[in-house]
Each structure stands twice: as structure tokens, then as C-alpha cells.
Amino acid sequence: MSKTKRELKDALILLMETKEFKHITVTDIVTRAELNRGTFYKHYQTKEELLGELMNDVMEDLIRAYNEPYLHTDKLVIGELTASSVIIFKHVDSYSDFYRIIINSNALPGFQDRICGTLKQLVMQEQDIMGSSDGKINPDLFASYIAYALFGLIVEWVKEGYKYTPDHMAEQLIRILTYPYDRADGRAPRF
């Protein structure tokens, strides 16, 4: 991505912290980015196009981060995961301002659903690759459970002001995923 595009996207994110998107103008964006309107129009026709590309960047990087542990193995074993192989929280950290805006405000209605929908699709693909368990668990419900649970961790982390490191969050995710099987008493948690 070009430096100019990055500056325009960063400016838009900063503006969205204080203004609703519909009230942000191209002039606001270029002023904040310390660029001129001609530079903006060289890259984008509208502010909506800029926002769309920003959202696509986030989603593409989310998919890349989610898939990272699967890239170097034929079979992923949860108990063998390490915090360094789970980079989804590093992804969130790298887009921390963006996630703070979409979680703490109504700046982009529907985007949280888009994230959860993408996570659900990724889990469904993972199930297709790994094979489902014993056929007793509905794959669609399982994928929803995992997607919304993972997004719930992200929401909690953001709402707490990113008080933990991405590695700590990855470690916690791994512990949560293995928890019922790690308990000394061998019992699963009560719901």
C-alpha cells in the first residue's frame, strides 16, 4: 500500500473517532492527512471508496491472521498451538484504532456482523478441511459458536483498552480452547 493511501486511511480513522462518517468530508480527510484534494482524487473517487478499501484491508488481514496457524501443518492440533502461531490478536493490535471505533461506537453499523460472518466462514472451511467430529454437532452452530466466542474475546480486549499484550491474548485463547481437557478433575465447565 502506498504511503499516501495509508495516510488517507489513518486520517479517516482518526476523524471517525470524533465524527460520524456521514459528516466527514473529503476536505476533512485531506486536511487531517496534510494532503491536497487532488491527491485524494488521484486514489479515490469518493470517501465511501476510501472507507470500502479500508474495510477490505482489515478483512483481508483478518483472514490472513486467522489462517496463519494452518499454513505450516497438515493437521492443526489445538494443544500444540503456541502463542506465537496465533496472530489474530496481533492483527487486531495493528488495526487497534479501527477496532476501537467499530466496537465502542456505531460508526460502521453492520461491520461487526461482517467480521463474525467472515470468522464463521473460516471456521466452516476449517471443518471442511479437518473433517467434522462425529456428526452429532451441527457444523453451522459450531462455527457460529467459535466465531462469536473469538469475537467476544476481541471485544472484551478492546473495551478494556488493550490492557493485555497480543501474545497474552493468544495464550488465553489457547488455554480457553484446551480448558475442559486440562482440568485436573476431568470435568467440563458448567454453562
| Domain containing residue 14: CATH number | 1.10.10.60
Give the domain range for residue 154: 54-182
Residue 57: what pLDDT?
Answer: 97
Same domain, 33 and 63: no
The Cα 115–Cα 154 span in angstroms is 11
The Cα 63–Cα 101 span in angstroms is 20
- pLDDT tens-digit series, residues 155-176: 999 999 999 999 999 999 988 8
For the chain, how many helices (H) and strands (E)? Answer: 9, 0
Q: Grid coordinates in use for 83?
A: 502463542
Residues 6+ apart with CB under 8 A from 34: 7
**pTM, two decimal places:** 0.83
Categorize the per-residue pLDDT at 125 as very low, low, confident or very high, splitting at 50, 70 and 90: confident
Same domain, 3 and 80: no
Task: State residue 46 phi and psi, 5-degree precision.
Answer: -145, 165
